[in-house]
């Protein structure tokens, strides 16, 4: 068989467009990921400072001004900067390598990145100078410098560029490959992009119509009840936006690097779709204790809150089943004994198992938070912060770290500096998280309030019970800082590693039953987008509309 010169030309042309798509994906990926992990590195010591400062054991550290500036900065770095840039970097890489196409305009993708960087820098200056000590949740009528809100909005707008890139990429690929299922990694990524647009709309409306005009003095008052309602629209779904990249790695990388196959591709898609549809219209579980929404609406949102646990149960099942298959292929035996047969030298496997473990604990705590009635026991206590450090700092971030260990050699072409160190680092992260968060939950049950820099209450009986647990938390914090430094060190040394990475191919886990065709509803987002619009109208329509006729009185802004 011979090919004509024309065919050969076309072939080499597709090869070079593929190569340039991969190059762009790698560059966008690396820039975004480095930015994310620098935020993590800077945020970690702030966390340690916070637990130490408020413990009372280090009087020379104590300053409420520094504490609240630190907590606001730590919260913004971890919750907005690390997560947004990680999602973008991982997403650009996944799109290039799974679809093998370029973003529709490289200039546009870079513009989004730099806009987000600029917004972050603006917000950071305000935070570090103490002009934005309002916490990452904003909560007016306390007001920060307008530049803080403008910076935060630019970060979000920059990330919308990424969302458009992902959605456009998937649409283009589907046109070129009619009837074929979108690769799972891209299906999850695009769902997350669409979810982020829905999610961020709530806080964007709050910023544009309330926070920015009032902080600039263009408007005299705002309604804090409405602000809290709009923020709740964002506040729950955003945690799923952070979590979905971790789930994507669990579905598409963990089974592969464990040496096995994905148990079910279809159930992974169902889980992503459920995460999408049930995570936004349920934000009122953050308002259970608020006066501005009626009980019936809170109950309605509670139903959806429990539904969103379902995809997590599905994920746990599929990922553990995939790991079990991998272990049995390697000779693992027994009902639980197969866990020992896993490849515990592979960072992705270690992270996957530890993430599942923390998810089991954290998920249990989550059911309590979600409860219409039990919530009163823990609302705004340290239980809540303990909970989200376990499930966000623990489950979610440990997967981010494992993704980095996998992606760095693929992008740089250099072998990971030390796999053994990576495994140690992940274990330390896990241990640090447990030592930090278990006592943290407990002092919450003992009524330690959230967001205080000291506990000067004269009621010794209540206060004295907290001390020893706070000391344990300091130990947990130290372990986590050490672990974080090891992580960054390993990445930096990888860039200068002399040994080339032997396996540069990027491929994702295959399903046991590879989907030749999936129902259109699991291959397209437009139906779900409409479903979301309807569900949002039901759960947020009246609750937001009511503010225009129940006779609200605006609140004037206050400084910090």
451 belongs to the binding site for ligand HEM (CB under 6 A): yes
| Residue among 33, 44, 88, 156 that touches ligand HEM (CB under 6 A) | 44
Q: Which does 454 bind (CB under 5 to 8 A by kind): ligand HEM, another protein, Cu ion, none?
A: another protein
Q: Is the Cα dihedral 13, 18, 19, 24 positive or negative? A: positive
Question: Contacts with another protein in 450-479 (CB under 8 A)?
Answer: 450-459, 461-462
- Is 82 near ligand HEM (CB under 6 A)? yes
CA distance 23 to 413: 12
Least distance from another protein to the Cβ atom of residue 429, Å: 28
Instruction: Report the partner that residue 367 touches, choosing among Cu ion, another protein, ligand HEM, none (CB closer than 5 to 8 A by kind).
Output: another protein
Cβ atoms of residues 486 and 421 within 8 Å:
yes
Q: How far apart are CA 130 and CA 151, in angstroms?
A: 15
Q: Are 325 and 261 in contact (CB under 8 A)?
A: yes
Decide if 417 is catalytic.
no
HEC string of 432-494? Answer: HHHHHHHHHHHHHHCCCECCCCCCCCCCHHHHCCCHHHHHHHHHHHHHHHHHHHHHHHHHHHH
Does residue 56 touch another protein according to CB under 8 A?
no
Closest CA to 372 of 296, 310, 299, 300: 299
393 binds, among Cu ion, ligand HEM, another protein, none (CB under 5 to 8 A by kind): ligand HEM
Is 336 considered catalytic here? no
Choose from another protein, Cu ion, ligand HEM, none: what does 381 bind? Cβ within 5-8 Å by kind. Answer: another protein
Q: Which range touches another protein (CB under 8 A), out of 2-10, 274-282, 289-297, 480-488? A: 289-297
Residue with tokens 């447990």: 434
Among candidate residues 74, 285, 389, 417, the one labeled active-site is: 389
Among 33, 78, 359, 525, binds ligand HEM (CB under 6 A): 78
Asked if 51 interacts with ligand HEM (CB under 6 A), we say yes
Q: What is the DSSP code (8-state) at residue 48?
A: H
Q: Is 292 in the site for another protein (CB under 8 A)?
A: yes
Q: Cβ 438 to Cu ion, closest distance in Å?
A: 21
Site string for another protein, 77-116 (x = CB under 8 A): ----------------------------------------
Site for Cu ion in 206-245 (CB under 5 A): 236
Buried b (16+ CB within 10 A) or exposed e, 198-225: bbbbbbbbbbeebbbbbbeeeeeebbbb
For residue 388, indicate whether it is catalytic: yes
Instruction: Let me know: does 273 contact 191? Beta carbons within 8 Å.
Output: yes
Residue 415: name the closest of 503, 351, 506 by CA.
503
Burial of 109 from C-beta contacts in 10 A (0-12 / 13-18 / 19+): buried
Which does residue 133 bind out of another protein, Cu ion, ligand HEM, none, counting CB within 5 to 8 angstroms by kind?
Answer: another protein
Q: What does 379 interact with, of another protein, ligand HEM, Cu ion, none (CB < 5 to 8 A by kind)?
A: another protein
**64, 105, 129, 526: residue in contact with another protein (rule CB under 8 A):** 64
3-state secondary structure of 368: helix
- Verify whether residue 441 is a known catalytic residue: no
Q: Are 212 and 123 in contact (CB under 8 A)?
A: no
- Interacting positions 131-190 with ligand HEM (CB under 6 A): 135-137
Positions in 318-357 near ligand HEM (CB under 6 A): none
Closest C-alpha among 120, 116, 117 to residue 132: 120
- Binder of residue 171, out of ligand HEM, another protein, Cu ion, none (CB less than 5 to 8 A by kind): none
Q: Provide the binding-site residues for Cu ion, judged by CB under 5 A.
A: 236
């Amino acid at each position: 068989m011979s090919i004509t010169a024309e065919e050969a030309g076309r072939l080499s042309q597709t090869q070079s467009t593929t190569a340039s798509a991969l190059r762009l994906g790698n560059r966008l990926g690396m820039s975004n990921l480095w930015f994310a992990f620098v935020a993590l590195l800077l945020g970690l010591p702030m966390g340690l400072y916070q637990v130490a400062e408020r413990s009372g054991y280090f009087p020379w550290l104590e300053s409420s001004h520094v504490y609240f500036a630190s907590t606001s900065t730590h919260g913004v770095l971890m919750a907005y900067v690390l997560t947004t840039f990680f999602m973008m970097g991982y997403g650009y890489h996944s799109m290039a390598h799974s679809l093998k196409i370029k973003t529709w305009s490289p200039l546009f993708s870079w513009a989004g990145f730099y806009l987000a960087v600029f917004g972050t820098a603006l917000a950071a200056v305000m935070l570090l100078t103490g002009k934005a000590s309002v916490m990452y949740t904003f909560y007016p009528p306390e007001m920060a410098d307008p530049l803080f809100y403008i910076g935060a909005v630019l970060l979000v707008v920059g990330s919308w560029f990424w969302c458009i890139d992902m959605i456009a990429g998937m649409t283009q690929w589907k046109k070129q490959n009619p009837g074929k299922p979108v690769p799972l990694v891209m299906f999850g990524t695009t769902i997350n992009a669409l979810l982020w647009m829905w999610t961020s709309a709530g806080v964007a409306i709050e910023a544009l119509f309330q926070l920015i005009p009032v902080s600039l003095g263009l408007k005299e008052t705002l309604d804090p009840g409405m602000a809290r309602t709009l923020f709740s629209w964002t506040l729950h779904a955003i945690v799923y936006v952070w979590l979905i990249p971790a789930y994507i790695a669990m579905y598409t990388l963990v089974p592969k690097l464990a040496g096995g196959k994905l148990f079910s591709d279809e159930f992974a898609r169902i889980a992503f779709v459920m995460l999408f549809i049930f995570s936004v219209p349920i934000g009122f579980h953050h308002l259970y204790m608020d006066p501005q929404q009626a009980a019936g609406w809170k109950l309605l949102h509670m139903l959806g809150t429990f539904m969103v646990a379902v995809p997590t149960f599905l994920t746990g099942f599929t990922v553990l089943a995939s790991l079990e298959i991998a272990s049995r292929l390697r000779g693992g035996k027994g009902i639980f004994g197969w866990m020992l047969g896993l490849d515990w030298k592979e960072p992705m496997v270690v992270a996957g198992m530890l993430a599942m473990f923390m998810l089991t604990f954290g998920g249990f705590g989550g059911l309590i938070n979600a409860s219409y009635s039990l919530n009163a026991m823990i609302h705004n206590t340290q239980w809540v912060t303990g909970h989200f450090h376990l499930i966000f700092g623990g489950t979610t971030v440990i997967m981010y770290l494992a993704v980095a260990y996998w992606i760095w050699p693929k992008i740089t072409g250099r072998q990971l500096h030390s796999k053994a160190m990576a495994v140690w680092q992940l274990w330390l992260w896990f241990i640090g998280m447990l030592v930090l968060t278990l006592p943290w939950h407990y002092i919450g049950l003992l009524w330690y309030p959230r967001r205080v820099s000291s506990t000067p209450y004269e009621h010794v009986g209540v206060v004295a019970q907290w001390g020893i647990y706070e000391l344990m938390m300091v130990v947990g914090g130290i372990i986590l800082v050490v672990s974080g430094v090891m992580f960054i060190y390993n990445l930096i040394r990888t860039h200068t590693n002399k040994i080339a990475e032997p396996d540069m191919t990027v491929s994702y886990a295959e399903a046991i039953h590879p989907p030749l065709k999936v129902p259109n509803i699991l291959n397209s987002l437009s139906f779900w987008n409409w479903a979301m619009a309807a569900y949002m109208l039901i759960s947020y329509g009246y609750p937001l509309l009511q503010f225009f006729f129940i006779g609200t009185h605006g609140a004037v802004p206050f400084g910090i």
